[in-house]
Amino acid sequence: MNRYERAWLFFAVLMVVAFLGIIAYFNFAAGLKPPQEAEVIDPLTLSTDERFSSPRVVEVVPGEEYEVYMVARMWSYYPREIEVPAGAKVRFYLASPDVQHGFHVVGTNVQANVIPGYVTVIDTSFARAGEYLIVCNEYCGKGHHFMKARLIVTEGER
């Protein structure tokens, strides 16, 4: 082995050690964890939780504020169709009983991961009326491409 090969091999090993050191530092020394305000939920008993046993849209303040309780489960979202008025504040509560899923409202900046064991909360509003597709943007298995729901934003008061 000539000196250039040895130098590149040393550099490659050094980079691997540096990357592993960075990962170890952030996992153990820095103690990176999910946000402390993240709500923990047992994915095995999700179907008995009063919020997620019957996924739905709740009108908190008529025409102004809504809460959407959704379950992301292989390979679909429940409820499959959501309707809210344009301009209303919408808070999504999402949970998964099986694997990690993505939640993306196509054509908007609404995007999050739905991780088993945690309740994902998203606050947003939709300025324009129309139909939006909700897709899973995190590969969740062989039926992943079928995982979708529909968001209907109706003309609302502003």
The domain in which residue 79 lies consists of 39-154
Are residues 20 and 49 both part of a single domain? Answer: no
Task: Say if CB 92 and CB 121 are below 8 A apart.
Answer: yes
What is the rounded radius of gyration, in angstroms, for the C-alpha atoms of the chain?
Answer: 21
Q: Are residues 5 and 67 in the same domain?
A: no
Render pLDDT for 113-124 as a digit per residue (tens, 0 to 9): 999 999 999 999
* pLDDT 10s digits, 48-103: 999 999 999 999 999 899 999 999 999 899 999 999 999 999 999 999 999 999 99
State the CATH number of the domain containing residue 45: 2.60.40.420
For residues 44 and 28, membership in a common domain is answered with no
Tell me, yes or no, whether 28 and 85 share the same domain. no
Helix H or strand E encompassing 150: strand 148-154
**Does the N-terminal peptide bond of residue 116 adopt cis geometry, omega within 30 degrees of 0?**
no
Segment 4-29 mean pLDDT: 91
Number of domains in the chain: 2
Same-domain pairing of 55 and 110 = yes
Same domain for 51 and 17?
no
The pLDDT of residue 36 is above 90 = no
Nearest Cα residue to 102 out of 70, 128, 57: 70
Do 119 and 51 sit in the same domain of this protein? yes
Q: Note whether 27 and 94 are same-domain residues.
A: no
Q: What is the pTM of this model?
A: 0.76
Residue 83 and residue 6 share a domain:
no
Residue count of the chain: 158
Quick count: other Cβ atoms within 10 Å of Cβ 135?
Answer: 18
Residues 100, 136: one domain? yes
Residues 21 and 55 in one domain: no
Does residue 50 sit in the same domain as residue 89?
yes
Please state the φ and ψ torsions of residue 29, each to the nearest 5 degrees. -70, -45
pLDDT at 14 > cutoff 70: yes
